[in-house]
Chain A
Amino acid sequence: MIKAEQKPVDEILDFLKPHRKILLAGCNACVAVCHAGGEKEVGILSSALKMARKKAGQKIEILEDCSTRQCEPEFVQELKEKAEEVEAVLSIACGVGVQTVARMFSDIPVYPGLNTTFMGETDELGVWIERCQACGNCVLHVTGGVCPVARCAKQLLNGPCGGSQDGECEIGNDVPCAWQQIYDRLKTIGQLHRMEEIIPVKKWGRESRDKGPRTISREDLKL
């Protein structure tokens, strides 16, 4: 799922300076799971912002809401009444949600309260790690279910490079070498021969974000 972290409060306060009444909108999907933009985080951020502004002698009124999924226009529509009452929206959804809100309420400013960081899994409670970069053409069948695009510091497709040492990446900081992990996995499942195949150059320009926003169009689902 999408993982995100709250921006520093002072940075948020800085871009909210001109406003006296805002809507703070969370999202109950991915960002709620990683404790960055759910209902509770709406409450905490709201409280912090109000205190900071009160202290500075420039009170701010904050309406609070939390959408089921801020990336879906029909749920964002539910924020309409509140949005009409305020000068701006502070969204603590991922970058997708912020943009849906911006598109739906086109006449007021929308600010991001989070930094959207990656798609990842929960390592342990409170720890999340990147696992996918949505490169657009999955190679996990060749790499034993470990993604070199998301997990190798050099996105190598025919790794490991010479810097792999004792299972660790050359960049250090206890970052595991993705290609050592791929090697171990392939060995375990008896597919080490996969390592001998040369994986050809990727079509970054046709399959990845380089060609502008990618779209998926499913005729069978369209009304």
Chain B
Amino acid sequence: MVESFSPRIVAFCCDKSGYVAADMVGKLRLSLPESLDIVRVPCAGRIDALHLLQALEKGADGVLIFACHEENCQSLTGNIRAKARMGYLHGIMERIGLEKERLDLCNLATNNGAKFAETVLQKFDELKKLGPSPVE
């Protein structure tokens, strides 16, 4: 069972960092899990707590936010806001018994294609060990 389980990951990617890095993954000829869904957003600050939680509710085993490095957001504090919202949701997840690891954030730059791939694959392995989302 566990071997055949391929975790579904939804990655919200900031257009100014995460999305460009994701694009680079192909150029670097690195591979990503097929079960990865990428959602392009203009800024990590645009990702609402509602979107993150609904991704989990609608079937994601894990959700990743790819945001710019702190102090490097083109909209000043979008990345900080995303982090704060993740913190808020971790509180709710804890109370409803959903592992906090299912929602994570990675700060990177446009040229971090390798880091993007590495983060997704690490989360993929982590979720595999964690098992399918209990709300599935």
Contact = CB atoms under 8 A, between A and B. Distances in A.
Q: Do chains A and B touch in the complex (CB under 8 A)?
A: yes
Interface of A: 8-10, 13, 40, 43-44, 47-52, 54-55
Given A9-B95, A10-B96, A51 B50 contact: no
Given A9-B95, A40-B50, A47 B134 contact: no
21 contacts: A8-B95, A9-B92, A10-B95, A40-B48, A40-B50, A43-B50, A43-B54, A44-B49, A47-B50, A47-B53, A48-B53, A48-B92, A50-B57, A51-B57, A52-B98, A52-B135, A54-B134, A54-B135, A55-B96, A55-B97, A55-B98
Contacts of B54: 43, 47
Given A43-B54, A47-B54, A47-B57, A52 B49 contact: no
A62 B136 CA distance: 17
Interface in B60-117: 92, 95-98
B9 interface: no
B14 interface: no
- Specify the main secondary structure of chain A where it touches its partner: helix
A91 to B, nearest CB: 19
A44 B50 contact: yes
B56 interface: yes
Contacts of A44: 49-50, 53, 92
Contact of B98 (A10, A40, A49, A51): A51
A52 B98 CA distance: 8
A48 B96 contact: yes
Contacts of A48: 53, 92, 96
Given A40-B48, A43-B50, A51 B56 contact: yes
Contacts of A10: 95-96
A117 to B, nearest CB: 18
B134 A55 contact: yes
A10 B96 CA distance: 7
Contacts of B136: 54
> Which 5 pairs between the two chains have the least Cβ-Cβ distance?
A52-B96, A51-B135, A55-B134, A9-B95, A47-B53
A218 B98 CA distance: 52
A50 B53 CA distance: 11
A125 to B, nearest CB: 10
A46 to B, nearest CB: 9
Nearest to A9: B95
A49 B56 CA distance: 12
B53 to A, nearest CB: 4
B50 A52 contact: no
Interface string B18-57: 0000000000000000000000000000001110011011
Nearest to A42: B50
Given A47-B50, A48-B92, A54-B135, 5 more contacts: A9-B95, A10-B95, A47-B54, A50-B135, A55-B135
Contacts of A43: 50, 54
Contacts of B97: 52, 55
B39 to A, nearest CB: 16
Nearest to B55: A47
